[in-house]
Amino acid sequence: MSPKTTLFLMLATIAIGSAAFYSHFYERERRDEQERKDKKIFLLEDKKLQSIKITESNSITQLECANSEGCPFNGTGEWKIESPVKALGDSSSIGSLASSILNLQLNDKIEFEGEINSNEFGFGSFQLEIKLMGQEQPIVVTFGEASPVTSDIYLQTSTQPKTVYLVPSFLKEQLKKDLFHWQNKKIIPEMKSDSIQKISWIGKVSFSFEQSDGEWLITKPAKLLANVEMIDGLANGIALLEAKKIQINQAASLKNKKPDLKIILTSDEKKSASLSFFIVPKTSEVLVINEESKDLFSIEKSFLERFEKPIDEYRSRKLVSAKNFSLLDKVVFTFPKEKSEAVFDYKDSKWHFNGTTADEFSLERVENIINQLIESDIKSFHKIGASEYKVLETPDLIIDGYSKDSKLFSREFTVFKNTELISKGELSNEVLRFTEAFSRVYPVRLTDLYKKNNKTVIHSDEVEEKKEDHSHHGHNH
C-alpha cells in the first residue's frame, strides 16, 4: 500500500471516529434535556406570574404580583396579598413558592381515556391556581392523597385533565402555611439601609446621628465623630427589622400611648419613617407601630438594648476619620515646650522630610507614628478635674494634618504624670487615654524622630533614674 493511501485511510478513520464521538455526546446531551422536560409538570421558563391562589376547603389565600410586567418564577418579583387581608407580601417566601412550582417534577404518571374518579385519588378541596401574564384562564392544580405504596402524592392539572401525576409532597407542604408566612415581615419595607442618612431616637437615652460622605456624626447631645461600623449596624438592623407576629389593623389601639422608644429615620431621598416601641410588662415582647402602616408588629425586647447605651459606646475610637486620613498629604509635628517642628510631605507613596536635614530623621518611624492615627483605637474617654486639665494647656506634641494646605485635623498630646500620653477630648474636661504600646510610639521631642534616638519616648521617673535603654517604637535603629 502506498504512503498516500495509508494517510488517506488514517484521516478517514479519524474523521469517522470523531463524527461518531461527537454524535454520541451530542445525542446524549439532547436526550438528557428531553428527559428533563418530560419529567417537568409545567414548562414555564419563559412565562411570568400574575397571581397565585391557594384554596383549602373554605380558606382562600390570594397572592398578586405587584409588578405591572409580571413576576418571574425565579423569585425576584414583588408581591402583595389580596385575600384574606390586603397586605404586602413576603417576596422571598412567595418567590420560593414560584420557584417550587416551576421546578416540580413527576416521579410517575397514570394516563386515563375517560373521566377520572376523584374520590379514588383523594382529589377534593385543596387546589392551587396559577394565572400567567397574558392568559385569561388560570392553570388549576388539584392535590390528592398520598400514594399507598410510595411517599409521593397524587396531583392533577387542568392542562392535562386525563393524567394523574405522582409527585413529591414538598409543594403541598409548602402551600399549607399560615397567613403570616406569606406576609411581609419587615417593619419598614419602604426604607433601605444604605439610603438612611439620619437616625434619631428618644427613650431612656436620646441621640441623633447624621451621615456625611460615608461617615457618621453624632449631632445630639453633642457634635462628635461616631463609630461608623456601629451606626451602620444600627441602620442595617432597623431597616431589616422583622416582626415575629403581626396583628392586622391593630395599630390604632396604641396611638395615644407614650412609647418607651421612638426612632425616626430619614433617607437620602428625604423620605422619613417613624417607629414607636411599647414594652409589654412582664414579658420579653415589644409591640411596634410603623406610622405608615395600620398593623401592629411584635418583636423581641432584646432589640431595644442597642439604643440604651451611654454616649461613649457610639463614639468613634479613631483619632482621625478614615476620610481625612485618605486625603492626607502633609503632616506637621510641633513640640511647643521646645519650640521646634518638623514638616513631612507625602509624595510617591512615601513620607519625605520637608527641610535640609532629612538624613537625620527615621522616615520609617515617622510613617509608623502617622499610621497610628488611623490604626490605633482610643482606649477610653475620661473626665478629669479642672486643675489636672490645666496640664493640657501646653501640650508636648501637636500633630496637624493637611490636604493641599487645607487643614484636616489637629491633635494635641501631653505626657500625663510621667506615665502615659493623653489627648484633649471633644467634651468639657475630657481626655483621651491610649494603650501603653501607643504611648511608647509617640514622640514628645523633636529628637525622638531622629535615627540616632533609640530610647523609649514615654517613661516613668524610675526608668529615668536607672537610665535603661529600650527599643523605640518596636524598631532597632
Given a contact cutoff of 8 angstroms between Cβ atoms, the answer to whether 254 and 289 are in contact is yes
Is residue 331 within 8 Å of 370, Cβ to Cβ? yes
156 alpha carbon, distance to own chain's centre: 43
* Average model confidence (pLDDT) across the chain: 87
CA 181, chain centre distance (Å): 23
- 3-state DSSP call for residue 189? coil
CA 457 → CA 10, 88, 96, 363, 442, distances in Å? Answer: 85, 63, 63, 17, 7
**Model confidence over 198-249: pLDDT tens digits?**
999 999 999 999 998 889 999 999 999 999 999 999 999 999 999 999 998 8
pLDDT at 465 over 90: no
Helix (H, G, I), strand (E, B) or coil at 350: strand
Q: How many other C-beta atoms lie within 10 A of the C-beta of residue 262?
A: 17
Going by C-alpha positions, the residue among 412, 477, 418, 407 that lies closest to residue 449 is 477
Query: In whole angstroms, what is the distance from residue 468 CA to residue 332 CA?
Result: 30
Quick check: 208 and 200 in contact, CB under 8 A?
yes
- Give, as one character, the DSSP assignment of residue 345: E
SS3 192: coil
Q: Quick one: pLDDT at residue 264? A: 96
Percent above pLDDT 90 for the chain? 67
In degrees, to the nearest 5, what angle opens at C-alpha 299 toward C-alphas 293 and 303? 115
Beta carbons of 288 and 298 less than 8 angstroms apart: yes
- Global confidence as pTM: 0.77
Q: Which residue has the cell 396531583?
A: 155
Q: What is the pLDDT of residues 37-90, one digit of tens each?
A: 788 999 888 899 999 999 998 899 999 999 999 999 988 899 999 999 999 999
Sheet holding 406-416, edge to edge: 350-353, 340-347, 330-335, 397-403, 406-416, 420-424, 430-433, 380-383
The letter for the amino acid at 75 is G
pLDDT score at 470: 33
**pLDDT at position 402 over 90:** yes
Going by C-beta distance under 8 Å and a sequence separation of 6 or more, which residues neighbour residue 413? Answer: 395, 396, 397, 398, 399, 421, 422, 423, 442, 444
DSSP per residue, 432-459: EE--HHHHHHS-SSGGGGBTT--S-SS-
pLDDT-derived band at 12, boundaries 50, 70, 90: low
pLDDT at 285 over 60: yes
Would you give the distance in Å from CA 404 to the centre of its chain? 35
Distance between CA 324 and CA 476 in Å, rounded?
A: 31
At 8 the pLDDT is 61
The answer to which of 196-210, 288-302, 463-477 has the lowest mean pLDDT is 463-477
Beta bridge partners of 200: 208, 264
* Separation of CA 471 from chain center: 43
Is the separation of the CB atoms in 304 and 284 below 8 Å? no
State how far the alpha carbon of 80 is from the alpha carbons of 88, 183, 218, 241, in Å.
4, 8, 38, 19
Helices assigned H by DSSP within 356-466: 363-375, 386-389, 436-441, 461-466
Cβ atoms of residues 271 and 208 within 8 Å: no
CB-CB contact of 103 with 45 (8 Å): no
CA dist list (Å): 438 to 186, 378, 379: 44, 9, 10
User: Which residue, chain included where needed, has cell 423620605?
Assistant: 271
Quick count: other Cβ atoms within 10 Å of Cβ 412? 18
Q: Convert the pLDDT of each residue in 88-125 to its tens digit.
A: 999 999 999 999 999 999 999 999 998 899 999 999 88
